[in-house]
A = this chain, B = another copy of it.
Amino acid sequence: MTTIPVWVTERRRPRVVIVGGGFGGLYAARALKRTAVDVLLLDRTNHHLFQPLLYQVATATLAPTDITAPIRWLLRKQANAMVLMEGVTNIDVERRVVVTSAGREHAYDYLILAAGARHAYFNHPEWESLAPGLKSIDDAIELRRRILTAFERAEATDDPEERAAWLTFVIVGGGPTGVELAGMLPTIARHALVHDFRRIHPSESRVILLEGGSKILPAYPDALSEHARRDLTNLGVDVRTGTLVSDIGPHHVAAGEERIHAHTILWAAGNAASPLGKDLHTKQDRAGRVLVEPDLSIPGHREVFVVGDLAAVVSKGKPVPGVAPAAMQMGTAAAKSIRRDLEHRDREPFVYRNKGDLATIGRYRAIADFGRLRVTGVLAWWLWLFVHIMYLAGFRNRASVLIEWAYSYFTYERGTRLITGGGSGGVSKQEPVPGNW
């Protein structure tokens, strides 16, 4: 296990290609700042995304620009790093090249694959356009468009049944994203939209959270899951566990025995790792995640690392969860292994340091799990706020951003309720009704 790759002994600087500018890729690049390598980071977008707050863009609390920053700006002071906005389409581990959507090939000595995950629709790809998921900033803008448009349609229609369907929001999946979306929707309706409409009362809106398993937030201890469920119920969310979705149409969800009439269906039920994992020709788990060695490299290719949501890693006997801190730690660890190679030292196995799990429920509640210490309610929410402000500050690199962020978060009544783009979903059914407003 201690064979040193041949280029370590060569004269030229090794080339490290990083695929993906999320937490894994960005932290890997940053950790290579003082290493004698050339770094090329490839991402199909121009921005790093602060994904933990993505649901706040989807629910029109924050603006897209609040939680994104250009990757090349984040790495502007790192002279050994270059950024190209190119999506990677193929990886050839034998020739050691990645091929991009621009038709270009980039050769590497080391590859750090941090391509993340997309939504999985469990053999129902046709559900994707009916029930969009939330991974990218474009996804969030689309969800925001659908949610805000639903209230507009409800105001416009004269048919009570239609109005009810426009005011019904179904979220499929009771993990952190589903819970966070479900918790924000009643808040939008109650606090922000209540004065703006004339014919509907936004508090008439229904939010239904469907979870196939026996509890929401399955990664948390039972007591905390139960607490979160109670918090959601108090906010007016109809939480249904043990309920499988058997069908989704443009205007309904079939959940268990019931057919729910709803125009807005949001998907938070499953992840599928990036298809690039296949190109590595090594073992993957059911979700398509690549089974990696303890040092995060793949079997037979010590020069290829997989980090973040695309990696299936075991640390201290437990699978490492697909969360931002894990991705950051993996990115940093892969970079460290490269540095150790160059210093002719042995690599170390990756160890995940879980600093605790946090999930928010609405605007002022959360649950926190720090192993022995468990916190709920408003205190947990303040913890959540503190942790996210800390990270966002580091990422945006300016203290004053905090003020701005806090301002938008607390005042709410802002221009963030912007509908842009013109997809088809969610506004497809428009019944002609004679005007008698």
Contact = CB atoms under 8 A, between A and B. Distances in A.
Interface of A: 38, 40, 45-47, 63-70, 72-73, 76-77, 82-86, 97, 101-107, 137-138, 141, 148-149, 152, 155-156, 195-199, 396, 398, 400, 404, 407, 411, 413-422, 430-437
Contact of A72 (B38, B45, B196): B196
Contacts of A155: 83-84
26 contacts: A46-B148, A46-B417, A47-B417, A64-B420, A65-B415, A67-B415, A68-B418, A69-B414, A70-B418, A72-B197, A73-B196, A77-B195, A82-B198, A83-B155, A84-B152, A84-B437, A102-B433, A103-B430, A103-B431, A103-B432, A105-B435, A106-B435, A106-B437, A107-B435, A137-B418, A404-B404
Q: Which 8 A-B pairs have the closest CB atoms?
A: A103-B432, A106-B435, A63-B65, A85-B152, A65-B415, A72-B196, A102-B430, A105-B435
Contacts of A434: 104-105
Contacts of A101: 430
B432 A102 contact: yes
A400 B105 CA distance: 49
A152 B398 CA distance: 25
A104 B63 CA distance: 32
A412 B422 CA distance: 29
A129 to B, nearest CB: 15
A73 B398 CA distance: 31
Contacts of A67: 415
Nearest to A436: B107
Contacts of A432: 102-104
B418 A46 contact: yes
A104 B404 contact: no
Contact of A69 (B64, B107, B415): B415
A152 B46 contact: yes
Contacts of A149: 46, 85
Contacts of A415: 47, 65-70, 396
A103 to B, nearest CB: 3
Contacts of A141: 420
Contacts of A105: 434-435
A190 to B, nearest CB: 15
A385 B198 CA distance: 36
Nearest to A430: B102
A156 B104 contact: yes
Nearest to A71: B196
